Amino acid sequence: MKDNLNLNRSFLFVPGDRPERFEKACSSGSDVVIIDLEDAVSQSKKEFAREEVINFFSNKKNNEFRCFVRVNSIKTYYGLKDLTAFIDNNCFPDGFVLPMVDSAEEVTLFENIISDYKSDIELFIVIETPKGLSNVDIILNSSNKIKMVGFGSADFTSQTGSSLSWDSLLYARSKIVNSAGISGVSAIDGVWPDIKDEKGLIEETQKIVDIGFKGKMAIHPNQISGIHEAFVPKKEEVQFAREVIDAYEAAKGGVISVRGKMIDEPLVISARRIMSIAEKN
């Protein structure tokens, strides 16, 4: 199993048919911006949004921020047009977000379309259906381009009939985290829908951090600081992590004891992850 120290915590969506918001989103402080051609854009504006997004990336000069594009499902006409538009114009984002992924065949189709034109593109796939959740292990093992796997809770509950409560979605979230850990990719949680409820956002984000998610999607710039706050390790966590690393390095490996607790290599890896996050913040 690979240890993934990717520190992308926040993923801010911006509608693809609102080009005046693109630059603002990129200066929001979000670790990754996702320009959305899917859910945020009505069918009547798909063509307009695609043209505006292509224009943005054709003229993009600033590489200081990471910018992805969520295309429409690759199983649809609009999704295929989205990808071919980037190829035809020879301009690409840092990564593509593939929504509603149910099978490994969709990932293979993406690679068959894009690989001859852009070999180093990052892929962020989103699990949003019971079928996708059932196949998540196979999907994540289908391509080394997959760097992130997201959970689309709203679409998922629309198919299962469950609520959006923490308890009702704990199994799905845990399965995604486990599969991500096996495959060495980052698990990214879905959006918190209430942009005015910062307390609820922080509480949910702290919970998803505790079970192993590495980031969370956002629908408004005001949510970024709350997400980042939840990912900042507590002072006592940082202090203990530092003690663990120092003791482990002094002992040159093996099993050690810190504050009466037995520490082995997996806990040292966790301590290093905590220190990496703390240093970034």
Give domain limits for the chain: 10-231, 235-280
What pTM was computed for the model?
0.89
pLDDT at 131: 98
> Residues 6 or more apart from 6 whose CB is under 8 A from it?
147, 148, 186, 214
Residue whose C-alpha is closest to residue 68's, from 188, 159, 223: 188
Q: What is the pLDDT of residues 69-85, one digit of tens each?
A: 999 999 999 999 999 99
Residue 4 has pLDDT above 60, yes or no: no
Model confidence at 3: pLDDT above 50: no
Q: Given this model, what pLDDT does residue 62 score?
A: 65
Residue 1 has pLDDT above 60, yes or no: no
Mean of the pLDDT values across residues 243-251? Answer: 90
Name the superfamily (CATH) of residues 10-231.
Phosphoenolpyruvate-binding domains (3.20.20.60)
Residues 189-216, mean pLDDT to the nearest whole number: 96
Q: Is the pLDDT of residue 2 over 50?
A: no
Please say if the pLDDT value at position 247 is more than 70.
yes
pLDDT more than 70, % of the chain:
97
> From CA 44, how far away is CA 58, in angstroms rounded?
23
Q: Higher-confidence residue: 52 or 277?
A: 52
For the chain, strand residue ranges (E) read 10-15, 32-36, 66-70, 95-98, 122-127, 146-151, 186-189, 215-218, 256-258, 261-263
95-98 and 66-70: which strand pairing? Answer: parallel
Residue pair 30/37 in contact (Cβ under 8 Å)? The answer is no
